[in-house]
Structure formats: structure tokens, C-alpha cells
């Protein structure tokens, strides 16, 4: 890769394409806009022919979406900044996949911040792994894997391997089936959307658990869950009924 990153802008709205190009040229050093694409088919063709380093990719376009583009250009080595007007499942998939995105209407500050983060990503060695997680999350109904930052770069975790998550302020501890604990600088609220998975449930303001890894329930005012790795998790009184229903008790 040369010092200048080759950029492709893919958006079906001309105004968005023009705004991004203008902002990139004015405020982002080291980027060179080589072309623009107007739909998914056009984007796929230009990624394959131009081999850009960075693609600004609209999540929803004519003739396909971001998943279709990623799926059909998986042999190409490029990084992506997603563009979206939707605050729905796509946002959750992007968040849990360590992907960078800009919400419409596009702000200069968000664009510059996303570009800076992508430049940092080029120093990592696992970009293809991260993209595979993103493809999986965008394609499915549930988030099955998440990408978490660490001191070396990123780490990919399967949801099924998470026993529980405990939060305290701006930090969360993730307890895994192999006995390891991962501490990350994200509040427990970051993981709320994982509850859309059938086996993930918040049982307390400070605890999210994987129902697959519960070994016992001890009755009480709220009760206590005993997890497979031996830890105990307090259940909030207001969550007791819902929990017992989920467990079939």
C-alpha cells in the first residue's frame, strides 16, 4: 500500500457522494478519491477493477446492500467506512463488528474520526477476520460474534463462549467458558442488544448472562444463578419472573 490511500465513494445519492468527496479533499490528508459508484453492482465492479484501499459504502443501495458488496468482493483487500441513515439492526451489526460508520446527515467531525480510525486499522494484521465477522453479523438475524479492541489490536469472541458479562461504570468484565476474563472499556449498556439472542439475558443492572451456561438457580427474593464455571450471579427481583419463564421453571 502506498502512502496515499485510494478511495472509492459508493452512495446512490449524488448529494452524499459530493459531500463526502468535498470533505475528504478538504479535511483528510493522505486520501485520494479515485472514483464514485451509484449502486451495488457499480460498486462491486469498481472495487474489483480499481482495487481501492478504502470504500465509503452506503448500507442500502439499489441492486443490493452492504452485505452483497462485501460478499462479492471478499477476495479484495480494502477497508470500509459505512454510511447509513438507519438506526436499526445494521447499526448494531456494525458496532459489534468494530466497523466504522457515518450517520446521515454527514458531519465533518464524524468523517475525520472514522478516517483516522481506519488508518490505524491498517496497522493490524487481522482485517480479513474482522470483515468476516461483519459479514456474518449483517447477514444473520442475531449477533453471533463480536470484535473487541485490546492492546494488540482486536479480539474476536463467539457469543456462545461468553458465560456472563458484569459491568461497573465505564468498564465491563467478560467471563469466558475457558475460564478467562476480558476487561474492556465499554459500559454494560454496549452489550444490551445481545439480548436479541435467545440465550442472552440481562438479569440485573450489573449482569448479563448466557442461559446456556447456567448450572443451577437458588431461590430467594430475586434468586441467585450458579454458572457452569462456578461463579454466582445475583438476579434482580424485577427480572425474576422473566428469567424463570425463559428457563422453563
pLDDT on residue 201 = 95
Whether residue 42 is contained in a domain is answered as yes
pLDDT on residue 63 = 93
CATH of the domain at 36: 3.40.50.2300
Residue-number span of the structural domain to which 205 is assigned: 159-247
Residues in the chain, pLDDT under 50: 1, 125
Quote the DSSP letter at residue 204. E
Residue 147 backbone phi and psi in degrees, to 5: -110, 125
pLDDT on residue 233 = 97
8 Å CB contact between 162 and 176: yes
pLDDT on residue 192 = 85
pLDDT on residue 1 = 46
pLDDT on residue 70 = 86
Would you say the C-alpha torsion 216, 146, 113, 21 has a positive or negative sign? negative
Count of structural domains, the chain: 2
Whether residue 62 is contained in a domain is answered as yes
| Shared domain check, 208 and 130 | no
Whether residue 81 is contained in a domain is answered as yes
| Shared domain check, 72 and 16 | yes
Q: Residue 181: exposed, middle, or buried by beta-carbon count in 10 A (0-12, 13-18, 19+)?
A: exposed
Amino acid at each position: 500500500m502506498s502512502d496515499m490511500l485510494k478511495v472509492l465513494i459508493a452512495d446512490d445519492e449524488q448529494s452524499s457522494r459530493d459531500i463526502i468527496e468535498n470533505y475528504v479533499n478538504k479535511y483528510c490528508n493522505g486520501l485520494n478519491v479515485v472514483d464514485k459508484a451509484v449502486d451495488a453492482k457499480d460498486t462491486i465492479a469498481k472495487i474489483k477493477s480499481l482495487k481501492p484501499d478504502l470504500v465509503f459504502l452506503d448500507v442500502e443501495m439499489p441492486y443490493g446492500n452492504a452485505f452483497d458488496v462485501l460478499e462479492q468482493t471478499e477476495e479484495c483487500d480494502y477497508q470500509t467506512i459505512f454510511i447509513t441513515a438507519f438506526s436499526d439492526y445494521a447499526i448494531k451489526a456494525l458496532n459489534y463488528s468494530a466497523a466504522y460508520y457515518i450517520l446521515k446527515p454527514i458531519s465533518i467531525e464524524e468523517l475525520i474520526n472514522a478516517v483516522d480510525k481506519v488508518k490505524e486499522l491498517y496497522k493490524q494484521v487481522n482485517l480479513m477476520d474482522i470483515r468476516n465477522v461483519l459479514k456474518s453479523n449483517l447477514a444473520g438475524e442475531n449477533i453471533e460474534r463480536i470484535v473487541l479492541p485490546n492492546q494488540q489490536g482486536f479480539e474476536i469472541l463467539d457469543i456462545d463462549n461468553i458465560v456472563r458479562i458484569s459491568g461497573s461504570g465505564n468498564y465491563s468484565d467478560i467471563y469466558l467458558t475457558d475460564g478467562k476474563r476480558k476487561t474492556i472499556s465499554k459500559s454494560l449498556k454496549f452489550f444490551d442488544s445481545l439480548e436479541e439472542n435467545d440465550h442472552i439475558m440481562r438479569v440485573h443492572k450489573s449482569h448479563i448472562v448466557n442461559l446456556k451456561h447456567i448450572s443451577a438457580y437458588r431461590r430467594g427474593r430475586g434468586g441467585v444463578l450458579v454458572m457452569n464455571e462456578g461463579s454466582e450471579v445475583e438476579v434482580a427481583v424485577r427480572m425474576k419472573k422473566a428469567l424463570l419463564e425463559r428457563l422453563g421453571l
